[in-house]
Amino acid sequence: MNFHGPRSNSKLEIEARLGEAITTFAYPFAFPQNDRTFVQTFKNLLAETGYTCCATTELGRARSGDDPYRLKRLPINSFDDPALFRAKLEGSYDWLALPQSLIKRLKHSVRSSKFGLPLLNQVPLKALKRYNVKT
């Protein structure tokens, strides 16, 4: 797979400006965790582009042994007081991963049945092709 698109170019530009290698990537929104083809294709793409890990939008804490290209994360914001922040770090919010996953699967099922084909699974690969990714 070759990647010569905006993400690759922006990585090179940031590295040039900082004078350092950029090795981490974070999905901006809606990581398609149930689309195995996309997940594997994008993981390979990230590795080939020089990234060593990736934070997804899947809720939870990263644990030892997790796939470094599929790290979970928790939303932290200025409204989190120290007790709430500590609770998140200690795993009190890990249970949210299950409802998040179920909602994503439900949305996928609705979209698939409504249009008669699994369009949701096709979107991420089309998005990759938009950036000249050859799979």
Ordered by start, the domain boundaries in the chain are 6-130
Specify the pLDDT at position 44.
Answer: 93
Place of tokens 């793409």: 45
The mean pLDDT of the chain is 78
Which has more confidence, 23 or 9? 23
Q: Give the whole-angstrom CA distance, residue 134 versus residue 3.
A: 7
Residue 42 has pLDDT above 50, yes or no: yes
What pLDDT is stored for residue 89 in this prediction? 86
pLDDT in tens, 43-59: 999 999 999 999 988 88
Q: Is 56 exposed, middle or buried (0-12, 13-18, 19+ CB in 10 A)?
A: buried
